[in-house]
A and B are shown apart, each in its own frame.
Chain A
Amino acid sequence: MELFLQQVLAGLATGGIYACMALAVVMIYQAIDHLNFAQGEMAMFSTFVAWQLLQWDVPWWAAFVLTVVVSFVAGIAVERIVFKPIRNAPVLSHVVVFIALFAIFNSLAGFIWDFTIKPFPTPFGTAPLFGSGLVSAHQAGMIAVTLLVLVFLYGFFRYTAVGLQMRAAALNPQSARLVGVRVGWMVALGWGMAAAIGAIAGLLIAPVVFLDPNMMLGILLYGFAAAVLGGLDSPGGAVVGGFAVGIMENLVATYVPVVGPELKLPIALVIIVTVLVVRPGGLFGRVHVQRV
C-alpha cells in the first residue's frame, strides 16, 4: 500500500510535466485544429534561450518573462513566415512542414549549445515537500504554475472576445471570416500563444529532466497522449489527462507482472486508445458531429 501511494505521488509529480506540455498542445489545437509535431522542439529551443539569458546573469523571473515574450513573437513569426505562404496546401503537407521544423530546431539547438546535458535552475528550490521527497518544491511549483496557465486559458477562451474569435476561426474559418474575424491573424496569435505556453512548460520541465536538445522527444508524446485523453478542446481535461497518464504509467510499471516495467508506455497508450474507442472525444471533450 505504501508503494502504491508513493507511485501515485511520483506519478502526480511526473504528470505535472505532461500536463504542462498538454496545455500547449491544446492551445495549438484550438488555434489551428491540428497538432504541431515541432511543438516540443520549439519549447526546448525557448528553454535554451532562457538558459542563455541565465548564463548572462539575467535574474530567473526576468529571464522567464523575456523568454515567454520572445517565444510569443517567434511563434507568430513562424506562422507568418513558414505557414502563411502554404495556407492552402493539404493538411498532410502542413504535417510534413512540422516535421521539417522539428528537424531544424533540434539541429540548431545542438549546433549552438551542443548535446551535453545542462542543469537548469529552479526558482522554487529543491527542498522535498511533505518530507518524503516524492514531490519536490519545484514540482509543486510547476503544478501551481500549470494550474495558473489553465485558469488563464479557461478565461481566455470563454470570456474574452479574442479567445472566442480564435475558437471560431479554428472551427469554421469561412463563417468566422464572414462575421469579421481576421482568421489569418487569429491563427498567428494562436501560434504565438502556443509557443509562449510551450516556453513556460520547457522552463518548468528542464529543472527536472535536465536541458538538452533531445529533452522533449519523449515528453511531447506524453503531452499529446494527455491532451487527447482529456479532450483536445478542454484545457482542464488536458491537465487531468496529464496527471492521469503520469499515475497510470507508474502503476502499470509497478503492478503489471513480467512485461509491465518494459512496456509501461505502450500499455498506458493502449489504455488511452481503449478510452478513446469508448469515448471518441476524450474524457472531457466534445464529440464533433459530422453533417452531410
Chain B
Amino acid sequence: MPNFAKALSYAGIAVAAALVAAPASAQKKYDPGASDAEIKVGNMMPYSGPASAYGLIGKTIEAYFKKVNADGGINGRKINFITYDDAYSPPKAVEQARKLVESDEVLLIFQSLGTPSNTAIQKYMNSKKVPQLFVATGATKWGDPKGFPWTMGWQPTYQSEGRIYAKFLLDKHPNGKIGILYQNDDYGKDYVKGLKDGLGDKAKSMIVAEVPYEPADPTVDSQMVRLKASGADVFFNVTTPKFAAQAIKKAAELGWQPVHLLNNVSQSVGSVLRPAGLENAKGIYSSYYLKDANDPQWKDDPAMNEWRAFMDKYFPDGDKTSSFTVYGYAVAQTMAQVLKQCGDELTRENVMRQAANLKNLDIGVLLPGIRINTSASDFYPIEQMQMQRFNGERWESIGDVMSGEVGG
C-alpha cells in the first residue's frame, strides 16, 4: 500500500519498522461499524455549555480524519467520524453513547470527553463490549484492564502528574510550604491526591493551604489573597486555562513570588501565558508531553510544520494558539495507528487488542523521548512527562523525561 505509507509519512507517524510490516489477517472480519468501504468512529464532545472550549478537540479530530480520507483512508477504508454534543452532561452522554452504538452502529467510541460523562457510559460500553478508546480525561480509573477491558485512557493521568511535581519538590524544595489552588471537581482533586501521595509522610507538614474554586466563580482573587496570606512559598496551580491566567496575573499583582507549579492543562503559551502576561509567567514550572504550538523552539520542527500545514489546509478556522488543536491531532493519529494495525480484521475485539499493542509509537508532536506504549496489562498509553520551566518566552526542558507511575 504505497499510498498509505505516503499518507503516514505526511501524518508524521514514524512507526517501528516491525509494526509496519505486521501481517494483517488474511480474512476480512467485520463487526458493526466496519465494512470494505468505511469505518464508523463515534465521539462525544461538549460543543455547547460551560465546557464548550473543549469542543475544539472534536473539531480538530474531525479535520484530521478528513485529511486521512483525502489521503486514501486507512487500509483503503474511509473513516466516518460521527461526533455528537453531550454538553458535558452525564445523562446526555448516556443518550448520545447509546445513539452512537445502537442507532449509528459505530465500531467504537473514541475520545469522549470528561470524567463524569465517561464514568456514566463506562458500564454500558463494557457490557455492550464496544471499545471506549483513548478517553479525554486524566482520571486514573481508565487504565483498569481487568475491571473494564473495553475502556482505555490516553493522556498521562492527573495523579501521575501530581506525583511528578511531588518528586520535583522533594528534590528541589524539601522544606517548601505548599499552597494549592484547585478546581473543585474530579480533575482538581485527582491532582491534589497525586501530589499528596507523592509527598508521602511529608504531605502534612509541607501543605499549608488547600483552596478550592468553582468553575462558575468569576475570579479567583479571594483564593489568591488567602494563599498568599497562608505564608506558602510554593504554589501548586491546578486550574483550567481561564483561571490559570487569572491566578498568574493576580499573583504578580499581589507581589507574591512563590515557586509556581502549573498543571499541564493550562500550559499553553498562546491561550494562557500570553493573556496572563509573559512577564508574569516567567519562572513557572510545569510538565508536558506535547509540543506547544506557540513555542519558538518548535518553529522549524518538522512534525509541527506538518501540523501547521494540516491546520492550514483542513482546519483553517481552528485556533493555532490553543494546545487543544495539537492534542486533537496527536490523539487522532494514535487512533489511526490502531485502526491501521487492525488490518482487515475490524472487530471490536481486535480493536482493543491492537490498542493494547502499541509499541514505542512515536507521534511527532509529542516531546522528544516520549513514546506511546500499551500492553494487555498496561492501559496507560502515555506515562512520561517532561518537567519544564518558562523563561518568559518559551518552555525550557529541565532534567530527563519522568514517569509518574500510577496504577498500571
Residue positions of A touching B, CB distance < 8 A: 2-3, 6-7, 10-11, 13-14, 17-18, 103, 106-107, 110, 114-119, 126, 128, 132-134, 136, 205, 208-210, 212-214, 217-219, 221-222, 249-250, 253-254, 261-262, 264-265
| B48 in contact (CB, < 8 A) | yes
Question: Taking each of B56, B223, B272, which has the highest tally of chain A beta carbons within 10 Å of its own beta carbon?
Answer: B223
- B254 at the A/B interface (Cβ < 8 Å)? yes
Contact call B245/A117, Cβ cutoff below 8 A: yes
Which B residues between 352 and 384 are near A, CB-CB below 8 angstroms? none
The chain B residue with its CB closest to the CB of A17 is B218
Q: Which residue of chain A has its CB nearest to the CB of B255? A: A133
Q: Are A210 and B245 in contact (CB-based, < 8 A)?
A: yes
Asked whether any CB of chain A lies closer than 8 Å to the CB of B103, the reply is no
Report B406 CB to chain A, min CB distance, Å: 25
Q: Could you say which of B225, B245, B272, B321 has the most chain A C-beta atoms within 10 Å of its C-beta?
A: B225
Asked whether any CB of chain A lies closer than 8 Å to the CB of B50, the reply is yes
Are the CB atoms of A115 and B212 closer together than 8 Å? no
Main secondary structure of the interface of B (DSSP, over half): helix
Sorted nearest first, the 5 A-B pairs with minimum C-beta distance are A115-B53, A119-B275, A218-B216, A250-B222, A133-B253
Asked if B55 lies at the interface with its beta carbon under 8 angstroms from chain A, I say yes
Q: From known contacts A13-B221, A14-B221, infer whether A134 and B254 are also in contact, taking CB-CB under 8 Å.
A: yes
State whether the Cβ of B205 lies closer than 8 Å to any Cβ in chain A.
Answer: no
Interface of chain A, main secondary structure? helix
Q: Which residues in B have their C-beta under 8 angstroms from that of A133?
A: 253-255
Q: Which chain A positions have C-beta within 8 A of B254?
A: 132-134
Chain A residues lying within 8 Å of B321, measured Cβ to Cβ, are 116
In Å, the complex CA distance between A9 and B26 comes to 73
A117 touching B216 in the complex, CB below 8 Å, given contacts A133-B254, A249-B222: no
Contacts of A103 in B (CB 8 A): 48
User: Can you sample 7 A-B contacts with CB below 8 Å?
Assistant: A2-B229, A116-B53, A117-B272, A119-B245, A250-B222, A253-B223, A264-B222
Residue B242 at the chain A interface, CB threshold 8 Å: yes
Partner among B50, B53, B222 whose Cβ is within 8 Å of the Cβ of A254? B222
B217 to chain A: closest residue by CB:
A218
| Docked complex Cα distance between A170 and B277 (Å) | 46
Are A3 and B226 in contact (CB-based, < 8 A)?
yes
CB neighbours (8 Å) of A136 from chain B are 253
- Number of residues from B at the complex interface, CB < 8 A: 36
* Closest-CB distance, A129 to chain B (whole angstroms): 10
Q: Whole-angstrom distance from the CB of A22 to the nearest CB of chain B?
A: 13
The distance from the CB of A108 to the nearest CB of chain B, in whole angstroms, is: 12
Instruction: Assess whether A115 is in contact with B55, with CB atoms less than 8 Å apart.
Output: yes
From B214, B245, B319, B321, name the one whose CB has the most chain A CB atoms within 10 angstroms: B214
B48 touches A217 (CB 8 A): no
CA distance A249 to B242 in the complex (A): 21
Quick one: given A128-B253, A134-B225, are A117 and B218 in contact (CB under 8 Å)?
no
B214 is contacted by which of A2, A107, A254, A265 (Cβ under 8 Å)? A265
* B255 nearest CB across to chain A (Å): 5
Which chain B residue shows the least CB distance to A120? Answer: B275
Is B211 on the interface with A (CB-CB < 8 A)?
A: yes
Q: Could you tell me the distance between the alpha carbons of A6 and B256 in the complex, rounded to whole angstroms?
A: 14
Decide: A212 near B53, CB < 8 A? Known: A6-B229, A10-B222, A133-B254.
yes
Q: How far is the CB of A139 from chain B (nearest CB, A)?
A: 9
Distance of A134 Cα from B251 Cα, bound (Å): 10
List chain B residues, Cβ under 8 A from A209. Answer: 218-219, 242, 246
Asked whether A262 lies within 8 Å of B52 as measured between CB atoms, the reply is: no
CB nearest to B252 among chain A residues: A133
Beyond A115-B55, A116-B241, A212-B242, 10 extra complex contacts between A and B, CB < 8 Å: A3-B229, A13-B221, A14-B222, A17-B219, A103-B48, A115-B53, A128-B253, A209-B246, A249-B222, A262-B212
| Contact call B211/A115, Cβ cutoff below 8 A | no
Q: Which residues of A are found within 8 Å of B272, using beta-carbon distances?
A: 117
Given A209-B242, A212-B53, do A7 and B222 touch, yes or no (CB 8 Å)?
Answer: yes
Complex CA distance for A11 and B221, rounded to whole angstroms: 8
* Contact call B226/A253, Cβ cutoff below 8 A: yes
Q: How far is the CB of B262 from chain A (nearest CB, A)?
A: 15
Docked complex Cα distance between A133 and B229 (Å): 13
Please tell me if B173 contacts chain A, counting CB pairs below 8 Å. Answer: no
Chain A nearest CB from B49 CB (Å) reads 9
Contact with A along B214-252 (1 / 0, CB 8 A): 101111011101100100000000000110011000000
Residue of B nearest to A113 (CB): B319
Binary A-proximity of B268-280 (CB < 8 A = 1, otherwise 0):
0001101110000
Q: Min CB distance, B224 to chain A, in Å?
A: 8
Residues from chain A with a CB closer than 8 A to the CB of B226 are 3, 7, 253-254
